[in-house]
Structure 1
Amino acid sequence: MSFDYDLFVIGGGSGGVRAARIAASQHGARVALAEESRLGGTCVIRGCVPKKLMIFASEAPHAIEEARAYGWQVEAGRFDWPAFRAKLHEELSRLEGIYQGGLVTAGVDIHHQRARIRDPHTVQLADGTLKTAAHILIAVGGRPTRPGIPGDELAMISDDLFEMDSLPGRVLVVGGGFIACEFATILKGLGCDTTLTHRGDLVLRGFDRQGRELVTHQLEQIGVTMRLDVQLQRLDRDGGGVRATFGDGTSERYDAVMLATGRHPYTGDLGVENAGVSLGRRGEIVVDKWSQTSVPSIFAVGDVTDRVNLTPVAIREGHAFADTMFGNHPRHVDHAIVASAVYTRPHELASVGLTEEEAEEKGDIEVYAATFRPMRSLFAGSQLKAMTKLIVCEQTRKVLGCHIFAPEAGEMIQLAAVAIGMGATKEDFDLTVAVHPTLAEELVTMRMPVRRGGPSHRAAADEQAA
C-alpha cells in the first residue's frame, strides 16, 4: 500500500519535533507534522523556558538584599512587568523560529492546524484534508487540570501567567507540586502578596521527605503564606477579584487565583478510539517500552503517555523512536534513573534515583546526609539550610539516590546522575577528591551514615523494643 508519508507526527512539542527531525534528516523518512498551536509545545512556549526566565527575574530582590550584606549600597527599583513580558515573548518567538527552521531544513511538511486520527494509517486535518502514513506518532503532551470545584473557571492556569496584563497584588496559588511551588516563588519574588494552599501537610509529594520539609519551610521563610492540610472548596466572583472558600470554613478575597492542581494527557477529541488505541485510567495512551500502542502502526511519546513527564524524557523517547523505526538502530529509554529539579528560590530541590522512603521498602540501606548553612548565604545572615543526601544499598554499596537542596542544585544533580547511572558505589564517591570551597564537595565528604533503614533494621528495632 502506498502512503503519503512514512511518518505523520501529531504534536509539535519537544518530543514530536525531535522524532520528526531525526526521522527525516538522519534517516531519510518522508515526514509530516501537525501542530494546532505554536511549535515548541509546553516547554518552550508555556512551560520550562518562560518559567525559568521568570525565576531569574524574581531573584533580583534577594540578590539586592544579599549585595547589601556584602557591603554594596543598592536599592531596588520598580519591577516593570510589561517590559519584561514583551522581552519574554520576543525570546519565545525566537525559539519557536528555531524549532520551525529545524523542521523545514530537515524536509518535514508542517501543517499549522489540529489533526485527528481516522484509522491506523490516516489522519484528518482541521481543514478536512486526509493524509495517510505508514506510521503515526502521537506527541500532543498534556494540559493543566482544573479541580472540578464550583467557580474554578474564574481561576488562571499556569499558561495564563505569561499573558497577564499586570501582576496581581494578592494571589492564591492552589496545589503542592512543581508548578505550584515554582510559581509561588516567582510571584512572591516579583512583589505579589502570595498564598499557597495545599491539601497535604508538605509540598512536593513523591520527593524525598526531608527535601519536602525543607522546601515547605523555605516557602514560608521567603514570605509565602502557607495554608496546608486544607482543601479549596469553591471560588466566587468578588468585585474585581475572586473569593476563595476553604474546607475549614474560612474565606479570603484575592486579586487572582492560579490553579496548579496537576496535568492530564491531552487525548480528548484526538480520535484514538477510531483506531482502537488503548487508553489508561487518566486518559493516557498506553505504550510498551518501544513507545508502541495497542495498534502496531501508532506510537506515542512524551507526557501523553504519562510515564515520566519531563521534557528531556520526551526528547529521548522521540529520538529513540526515530532511530528504531527508521534508522535500523533499535533502542528504548530507561525511565528508572531520571534526574529532576524544582526551581524554587533561593534553594532548588534536585533529585535522582530512589527517595529514602522508596529505598527502605526495597531493602536495607544506609543514609548519608548533611544539612548546613552555605557559606555565601551564611555570610549574608541567612538562616536557610542546604542539604546533600545519598541513599546507599548496604549489600551492593551502590548509590541508589541523591537529593540536593541548595542554590543551583539542578546544576549539581545533572553530574550526580551520570555517576549513579553508571552504577557508582559510595566508595566511588569517597575516592573523589573534593573541590574546595564548594557546596558540591559535601557529596564526596560524607563518611558516616546518619541512619540505616530497611527490613532487617526494622526487624531488629522491633525485637529490641519487645
Structure 2
Amino acid sequence: MANFDFLIIGAGTGGMAAAQKAAEYGAKVAVIEKEKVGGTCLNRGCTPKKLMVYAADFALQESLAVSYGWQECQRQLDWSLLMQKIHQRLDSISNSFTKTFAEKGIELIYGEAKFIDSRTVKVNDQEISADKILIAVGGHPIKPDIPGKDLAITSREMFQLKEIPQKLAIVGGGYIGVEFASMMNAFGAEVVFMDTSELILSGFDKDLRTTVQQGLIERGIEFIGETTAEKIEQAGNRLQLHLSDEQTITADRVLLATGRAPNTKSLDLDKAGVKVGDKGEIKVDEFCRTENQHIYAVGDCIDRVPLTPVAKAEALAVVETLYGKQPKSIDYTYVTSAVFSRPEAATVGMNEAEARDKYGDRINCHCDRTTPMLYSLADEANQETVTIKLITVGKEEKVVGVHMVGEHAADIIQCIGVAVRQGITKQDLDDSFGIHPTIGEEFMSM
C-alpha cells in the first residue's frame, strides 16, 4: 500500500493549486486524476470557451471595421482548423502542468478513485492511504429527464463539434447557454434558446439580465421565455425540440445547458464517513472540512460558489489550514463573476433584489447607460451601449454591488471588485481620477 501525507482526488484547478502549495510546504503529495490534468476549466470549460469567444469576436468586428474606413472583404472561418488549434493549446497547457508536478515531486496517478475506508482509496488495483485527503473532483453537465435527451449534447460535446450547425437550439438561459448562444450566432449559426423564466441569467441583477437579453435579441438570436423542454425527436437528419407552450423547434443540434452536478457518485463516500446532499454535493464546514476530520473538499463538488478562482482559493485555504498552521476560511461576500456573451456582463456583490431584502429603503441605485467611444463612428444599427449600476447603502453610500454590461465589463469589474471588498463608498469613486477616454471612467462620474 502506498502512503502519502496529502492525497488529492482530482487534478482540476483546485486540486492542482493544493498539490503544488502542499509540496512547497514539504508534504509528500499524490494526485489522482481519471481523465486529463487541468479538469473541466482547462479541457472542456473556461479556457476553450474563451478562445472560442475570441474567434467569434472577429466576425462581430467586421461591420464595425467598415465604420472606420476598412474596405469590406469576404472571410470564412475554418472551423476544423480553429478546433485543432484550440485543442493543441489545451494539450500544451495540460502537459506543462504535468511537468510541474514531476518537478515538484508530486506523484500523478491516473484512474478512478473509490474509498474503501476513512483514509484509504483504491485506484485500479492499487490501495493508497493518506493522513489528509482533499476531494476536488468538480462537476459535470446534467440533462433533464425528458424523452429523447440522448439525442442532445451538453457543453462538453460543444468543444468536439465537427462543424458549425446551421441551426442550434439551446435549452437553458444560464451563463453557459447564453455564452454559447452568443458565440454560435457570431459564427453564423441560427440560434434559438429558451428558459423557464421570462428573463435569462437567473440570480444576476435584473437590469443586467434585461440588458444582456435585449442585446442578444438585437443580434438576431431568438429567445423563448417561460417554457420548458418536453421531448426531443429525430426528424430525418435533424432534431425536433417540443416545448411546453406547444411550440416545436427544428434544429441541427440541441444543446442542453440546464445545470451541473458534482462528480461524487462513484467515490463511495459513505465508506469514508463523508455526507452528501440530495444532488451529491459534499457537506463541509467553514474550513471545507467534511464530517470525516481527515477529509476536505473544495470546488464544484461542494455547495458553495462554483467558479474556478473560488475553487483555487478554497484549495489554498485548506493547505494553509493543514500545513501553514493558520486555519483559513473563505469570505464569499464579494466574489466577482462574468458572462462572456456579447454583450459581456460582469458583477460583484449584491444585486438590487438582494440588497433590498437586506437593507430595505437604505439602499440607493445609480444606473447609467452610455455609448462607448468605439461605436461613435458606427451607424445606428451597429451601435452598442454600456450599462453600469452601483448599489449603495446608507448615508455614507457604501458600495455593496456593482454590475456592468458592455465592452470590457469583466476586466473592469474585476478591478473594482478589489475596492468593493475594501469597503469603498460612492464618494471614493467620485473622488478618484478616471483614465480618459475609457469606459472605466464612467464609474467615477455617475
TM-score by shorter chain over 0.5:
yes
Separation in 1, partners of 2:35, 2:106: 17
- Give the letter for the 1:8 counterpart: L
- Structure 2 residue matching 1:210: 3-state secondary structure: helix
Q: Which residue in the other structure is 1:173 paired with?
A: 170
Separation in 2, partners of 1:433, 1:169: 48
Where in structure 2 are the equivalents of 1:101-180 lying within 5 Å?
Answer: 101-125=99-123, 127-180=124-177
- In structure 1, stretches of 5+ residues that fail to align are 447-466
- Give the letter for the 1:277 counterpart: V
Give CA deviations for 1:3-44 in whole Å, capped at 9, x if unaligned. Answer: 7101111101000111111101x1100111110000000100
- Give the letter for the 2:296 counterpart: F
Q: Which residue in the other structure is 1:289 paired with?
A: 286
- Say whether residues 1:332 and 2:332 are aligned partners: no
Q: Which residue in the other structure is 1:428 paired with?
A: 428
- In structure 2, stretches of 5+ residues that fail to align are none
Separation in 2, partners of 1:241, 1:10: 40
Task: Decide which of 266, 269, 273 is 2:266's aligned counterpart.
Answer: 269
Q: Which residue in the other structure is 1:387 paired with?
A: 387
- Structure 1 residue matching 2:81: 3-state secondary structure: helix
Is contact 1:176–1:203 with CA below 8 Å preserved after alignment?
yes
Give CA deviations for 1:311-332 in whole Å, capped at 9, x if unaligned. Answer: 0000111111112101223222
- Give the letter for the 1:416 counterpart: I
The sequence identity of aligned pairs, in percent, is 36
Q: Which residue in the other structure is 2:255 paired with?
A: 258
Hey, which bits of structure 1, 4+ residues long, moved more than 3 A?
Answer: none
Where in structure 2 are the equivalents of 1:62-73 lying within 5 Å?
Answer: 62-73=60-71
Q: Which residue in the other structure is 2:181 paired with?
A: 184
Q: Which residue in the other structure is 1:463 paired with?
A: none
Separation in 1, partners of 2:36, 2:340: 25
- Say whether residues 1:229 and 2:226 are aligned partners: yes
Separation in 2, partners of 1:324, 1:164: 43
TM-score normalised per structure 2: 0.97
Separation in 1, partners of 2:198, 2:7: 45
- Structure 2 residue matching 1:252: 3-state secondary structure: strand
Task: Decide which of 338, 345, 349 is 1:349's aligned counterpart.
Answer: 345
- Give the letter for the 1:48 counterpart: C
Is contact 1:391–1:400 with CA below 8 Å preserved after alignment?
yes
Separation in 1, partners of 2:147, 2:384: 39
Give CA deviations for 1:384-410 in whole Å, capped at 9, x if unaligned. Answer: 321111100014521001001111100
Q: Could you say what the CA RMSD is over the residues aligned between the two structures, in angstroms?
A: 1.2
Is contact 2:2–2:127 with CA below 8 Å preserved after alignment?
no
- Say whether residues 1:216 and 2:201 are aligned partners: no
- Say whether residues 1:10 and 2:9 are aligned partners: yes
Q: Which residue in the other structure is 2:417 paired with?
A: 417
Q: Which residue in the other structure is 1:28 paired with?
A: 26
Is contact 1:243–1:252 with CA below 8 Å preserved after alignment?
yes
- Structure 2 residue matching 1:319: 3-state secondary structure: helix
Q: Which residue in the other structure is 1:323 paired with?
A: 320
Separation in 2, partners of 1:240, 1:375: 46
Separation in 1, partners of 2:220, 2:80: 24
Shift of 1:284: 0.5
Shift of 1:376: 1.4
Task: Decide which of 64, 71, 74 is 2:72's aligned counterpart.
Answer: 74
- Structure 2 residue matching 1:412: 3-state secondary structure: helix
Q: Which residue in the other structure is 2:196 paired with?
A: 199
Q: Which moved more, 1:368-377 or 1:286-295?
A: 368-377
Separation in 2, partners of 1:306, 1:186: 29
